[in-house]
Amino acid sequence: MSRLRRESSRQSVITVELIQFIIQYNAQETQEKKKRRLADEDDELSEVQPDAVPPEVREWLASTFTRQMATTRTRSDEKPRFRSVAHAIRAGIFVDRIYRRVSSSTLMQFPPDVVKLLKNLDEWTFDVFALTEAASGQVIKYVAYDLLNRYGAMHKFKIAPGVLETFLHRVEEGYCRYRNPYHNNLHAVDVMHTMHYCLCNTGLMNWLTDLEIFASLLAALLHDFEHTGTTNNFHVMSGSETALLYNDRAVLENHHVSASFRLMRDDEANILSHLSREEFKELRTLIIDMVLATDMTYHFQQLKIMRNLLTLQEPTIDKSKALSLVLHCCDISHPAKHWDVHHRWTMLLLEEFFRQGDLEKELGLPFSPLCDRKNTLVAESQIGFIDFIVEPSMSIMSDMLEHILAPIAPVIKTKPAPLTEEAVGVAEPEGDDAKLSTTCPMMRKSIASSANKFTINKPWLTCLTENKKIWKEQAIKDAEARALLAAAEAAAEPEADDKKPAAETESGEQKETATEA
Ligand SMILES: [Zn+2]
């Protein structure tokens, strides 16, 4: 008995020591991690200091895409599970079959013009502005319904059509609440569409389970739910209720995800009611991770982690991190779309910024970067945004997707590699396998395009180059117009020498307002 007690007491000593060691080790680890992160941030900050960018644009980039404070979220790294090609092909067919079945048995009535426009949903640039007219402004109602159907989510997770309609109606309402020019239901659909493109046309969906696909689509749909049309910085600076609730950290992102799950608590709108407890937990964790990572201040950290990971010999890419990066890229993808659509988004976003600037003026707060109607370099800001944010993000996302999908692709490549897309159709196996061609045309094309290295199709590359070219021309014109205006003003006021420069007058006015407030 006594030996047993001695034995057990020795064991407990070991256990206590062991626990103490683990606690100390973890504390050291956390400190190390924190130090490493801060060092990383310093490195990345230097990347937004190029002389080529006007100071105002640099300030906007730094204030929007870097962060001072952060919460450390630890998560065990999950090993990627690569699936067989047979499965990849099945997944493609599954989507195709579900789509056919549902579209033949009409669950919700789609206006004919909407149906016509939804046919473009597989393209890289989808004109949501054209759709909103045909859909009487209810773009979420149709696009989200159609996409959730296509991926078989309604069938797989037993979502009743009426519940889905109610849910989507409320999501649409939430997005329209603040009548924002940019962060509204159209932006939600734009991001969800881009997520669909990434899932389907690159082949990413073949790496994911049905639940992960469902989570990705939902996260994209809900990522800006009830956006107030103002930035996190504005919430913090004005001391809003939401900033108070979330302690100034990822204020809007926390709200988007929290309000979304609150919405789904109501039975009438609960599209998750048939998920098992485990499925719900997994989906919720993924959505929280993905939406919180859309906080733009995580941008450089997120990119750096992925970039470093991809330099390793055998990188293990965590699904949550991969999908978070994809969602972040979808969120900032409009400069990578066709000019007409990109230009429209830019003007809408700037109008939203200007409205915030108007509010800041009213409240006696200093203007946030790009929020002053009278003093914003539109073309330059977009060039900086493309050069330092969008292009690097899309590039790392492409590398990541090619790395993830390469192990799935080679087996498909054993088929004869044809030179043209038409020839791919001929080489496709007969029967069900042939249907893949209608589901993922881009994926097939890119597989055919390289015999050795798997590459995805990157339609954003040409758009980015083209858009940057147009903005550069615009920047020159704008500079000329500003010079002409300044010359005309100088000519109209001969005693201009006595006056202060415009910038000084502006800041002087601001100071007065601030003192009054
Ligand atoms: Zn967004």
Q: What is the pLDDT of residue 70?
A: 32
Structure confidence by residue, pLDDT tens digits, 297-332: 999 999 999 999 999 999 999 999 999 999 999 999
Say whether 183 counts as a known binding-site residue: yes
In a domain, 155, yes or no: yes
Q: Does 9 have pLDDT greater than 50?
A: no
Task: Give residue 188 CA to ligand 1 midpoint distance, Å.
Answer: 7
The residue behind tokens 């045909």 is 134
- Write down the catalytic residue from 87, 155, 169, 183: 183
Q: What is the pLDDT of residue 28?
A: 59
Q: What is the CATH number of the domain that holds 356?
A: 1.10.1300.10
Asked if 151 contacts 217 with a C-beta cutoff of 8 angstroms, the reply is: yes
Distances (CA, A) of 307 to 63, 278, 283: 22, 32, 26
Asked if 404 contacts 322 with a C-beta cutoff of 8 angstroms, the reply is: yes
Active site residue 403: no
Task: Give residue 419 CA to ligand 1 midpoint distance, Å.
Answer: 38
Helix axes 319-331, 185-201, angle to 10 degrees: 130
In a domain, 502, yes or no: no
131 band by pLDDT with thresholds 50, 70 and 90: very high
Q: What is the pLDDT of residue 59?
A: 81
Say whether 222 counts as a known binding-site residue: no
Q: Does 413 have pLDDT greater than 50?
A: no
Q: Does 383 have pLDDT greater than 70?
A: yes
Say whether 432 counts as a known binding-site residue: no
% residues pLDDT > 70 (the chain): 69
pTM of the model: 0.75
Task: Give residue 436 CA to ligand 1 midpoint distance, Å.
Answer: 31
Which range, 93-102, 178-187, 440-449, is most confident?
A: 178-187
Determine the Cα–Cα distance for residues 65 and 73; give it in Å rounded to an integer. Answer: 19
Say whether 4 counts as a known binding-site residue: no
In a domain, 72, yes or no: no
Task: Give residue 204 CA to ligand 1 midpoint distance, Å.
Answer: 21
Task: Give residue 5 CA to ligand 1 midpoint distance, Å.
Answer: 61
Q: What is the pLDDT of residue 514?
A: 34
Say whether 308 counts as a known binding-site residue: no
Say whether 232 counts as a known binding-site residue: no
Point out the least confidently predicted range of 58-72, 135-149, 382-396, 414-428: 414-428
Say whether 184 counts as a known binding-site residue: yes
Task: Give residue 192 CA to ligand 1 midpoint distance, Å.
Answer: 10
In a domain, 309, yes or no: yes
Task: Give residue 501 CA to ligand 1 midpoint distance, Å.
Answer: 38
* Type of residue numbered 444: R
In a domain, 38, yes or no: no
**Token pair for residue 217?**
């689509």
Q: What is the mean pLDDT of the chain?
A: 80
Asked if 122 contacts 440 with a C-beta cutoff of 8 angstroms, the reply is: no
Among 295, 316, 272, which residue's Cα sits nearest to residue 82? 316
Q: Does 517 have pLDDT greater than 60?
A: no
Task: Give residue 255 CA to ligand 1 midpoint distance, Å.
Answer: 13
446 band by pLDDT with thresholds 50, 70 and 90: very low
Distances (CA, A) of 4 to 7, 10, 16, 130, 165: 5, 10, 18, 79, 65
Q: Does 354 have pLDDT greater than 70?
A: yes
Say whether 382 counts as a known binding-site residue: yes
Q: Does 93 have pLDDT greater than 80?
A: no
63 band by pLDDT with thresholds 50, 70 and 90: confident
35 band by pLDDT with thresholds 50, 70 and 90: low
Q: Does 425 have pLDDT greater than 60?
A: no
Q: Domain residues for 184?
A: 58-65+81-469
Q: Does 455 have pLDDT greater than 70?
A: yes
Which range, 47-51, 382-386, 489-493, is most confident?
A: 382-386
Distances (CA, A) of 141 to 127, 161, 163, 292, 465: 16, 12, 12, 24, 34
Q: What is the pLDDT of residue 503?
A: 44
In a domain, 1, yes or no: no
Task: Give residue 350 CA to ligand 1 midpoint distance, Å.
Answer: 14
* Type of residue numbered 144: A
43 band by pLDDT with thresholds 50, 70 and 90: low
Task: Give residue 12 CA to ligand 1 midpoint distance, Å.
Answer: 52
Q: What is the pLDDT of residue 476?
A: 96
Structure confidence by residue, pLDDT tens digits, 474-497: 999 999 999 999 999 999 886 545
Stretch 392-398: mean pLDDT, rounded? Answer: 98
Stretch 126-133: mean pLDDT, rounded? Answer: 97
64 band by pLDDT with thresholds 50, 70 and 90: confident
Say whether 187 counts as a known binding-site residue: yes
Q: Does 57 have pLDDT greater than 70?
A: yes
In a domain, 313, yes or no: yes
Task: Give residue 227 CA to ligand 1 midpoint distance, Å.
Answer: 9
Q: What is the pLDDT of residue 303?
A: 98
Q: Does 21 have pLDDT greater than 60?
A: no
Q: What is the pLDDT of residue 492?
A: 87
Q: Does 347 have pLDDT greater than 70?
A: yes
In a domain, 375, yes or no: yes
Q: What is the pLDDT of residue 288?
A: 98
Q: How many structural domains are present in the chain? A: 1
Determine the Cα–Cα distance for residues 422 and 261; give it in Å rounded to an integer. Answer: 45
